[in-house]
Structure 1
Amino acid sequence: MTRTLRSLLCAASAAVSSLTAHAQDPQFSQFYANPIYHNPAFAGGSGAGRLIANYRMQWPALDARYRTAAFSFDTYDEDTRVGLGVQAISDWQSTVFQTTQLSGIGSWMLPIMQDNDREARVVFGLQASYIGSRFDPAGMTFADQYAVGGLVNVVSADPLAMGGALSKHSADFSGGILFEHDLGDDKAKYWAGLAVHHIYRSQLRGDWLGQRISGMAGLRIPFTGGRGLWNKGLVHQQNRDRSVSLTTHLRQQGNNLQLDTGFNLTYSPLMVGVWYRGIPIRRLDKTFQNDALIGIVGFQFDRFLVEYSYDITVSPLRFATGGAHELSIWYGLDSLFQFSSTKNRSARRQRRCQHF
Structure 2
Amino acid sequence: MKRIFLTYCMMTLIFLGKAQDIQFSQFYAAPIYLNPAFAGSSEMTRFGVNYRNQWPGLDHSLNAYSAYFDHYFFNLNSGLGLIINGMNETMAGLRTSEVGIAYSYRVQLGFNSFLRFGGQASFFSRDANLSQFVFGSQIDQTSGAIGDFSGELLGKDSRHRYMDYHFGMLYNNEHGWIGISAHHVTQPNISFVDDQISKWPMKLSAHGGLKFDLSNGMVNNFMNNTQNQKELVLAFNYKHQDPFNQLDVGAQINIQPLVFGVWYRGLPTVGNGMPNSESLIGLLGISLGNGLDIGYSYDFTLSNLGQANTGGAHEVSMRLSFLAGDQKQAGRKGSILPCFKY
What TM-score do you get using the length of structure 2 for normalisation?
0.87
| Conserved 8 A contact 2:83-2:101 | yes
The Cα shift of 1:208 comes to 4.0
Corresponding residue for residue 291 of structure 1? 278
Looking at structure 1, the residues matched to 311 and 162 of structure 2 have their Cα atoms a distance apart, in angstroms, of 34
Looking at structure 2, the residues matched to 307 and 175 of structure 1 have their Cα atoms a distance apart, in angstroms, of 27
The Cα shift of 1:199 comes to 1.1
Corresponding residue for residue 209 of structure 1? 200
Correspondence for 1:157 among 147, 151, 163: 151
Residue 199 of structure 1 pairs with residue 190 of structure 2: no
The Cα shift of 1:346 comes to 5.3
Residue 326 of structure 1 pairs with residue 315 of structure 2: yes
Looking at structure 2, the residues matched to 211 and 289 of structure 1 have their Cα atoms a distance apart, in angstroms, of 18
Classify the secondary structure of the residue corresponding to 1:62.
Answer: coil
Corresponding residue for residue 339 of structure 1? none
Residue 241 of structure 1 pairs with residue 241 of structure 2: no
Corresponding residue for residue 340 of structure 1? none
Looking at structure 1, the residues matched to 314 and 39 of structure 2 have their Cα atoms a distance apart, in angstroms, of 25
Q: Which amino acid aligns with 2:163?
A: A
Corresponding residue for residue 173 of structure 1? 165
Corresponding residue for residue 352 of structure 1? 336
Looking at structure 1, the residues matched to 245 and 185 of structure 2 have their Cα atoms a distance apart, in angstroms, of 18
Residue 27 of structure 1 pairs with residue 23 of structure 2: yes
- Deviations 1:265-308, CA, capped at 9 Å, x for gaps: 1101111111100113x333687646100011111244011110
Classify the secondary structure of the residue corresponding to 2:79.
Answer: strand
Pair 1:130–1:286, CA change in 2 (3 A): closer
| Conserved 8 A contact 2:45-2:322 | yes
Corresponding residue for residue 341 of structure 1? none
Corresponding residue for residue 109 of structure 1? 106
- Deviations 1:216-261, CA, capped at 9 Å, x for gaps: 11111111236983676x633xxx1100110000010011001001
- Deviations 1:303-355, CA, capped at 9 Å, x for gaps: 011110000100011131111000111011339xxxxxxxx985347842654
Corresponding residue for residue 115 of structure 2? 122
Identity %: 29
What TM-score do you get using the length of structure 1 for normalisation?
0.84
- In angstroms, what is the RMSD of aligned CA positions? 2.6
Residue 222 of structure 1 pairs with residue 203 of structure 2: no
Q: Which amino acid aligns with 2:336?
A: R
Corresponding residue for residue 310 of structure 1? 298
Looking at structure 2, the residues matched to 152 and 224 of structure 1 have their Cα atoms a distance apart, in angstroms, of 61
Pair 1:325–1:142, CA change in 2 (3 A): same
| Conserved 8 A contact 1:42-1:125 | yes
Question: Which consecutive residues of structure 2, in runs of 5 or more, have no partner in the other structure?
Answer: 191-195
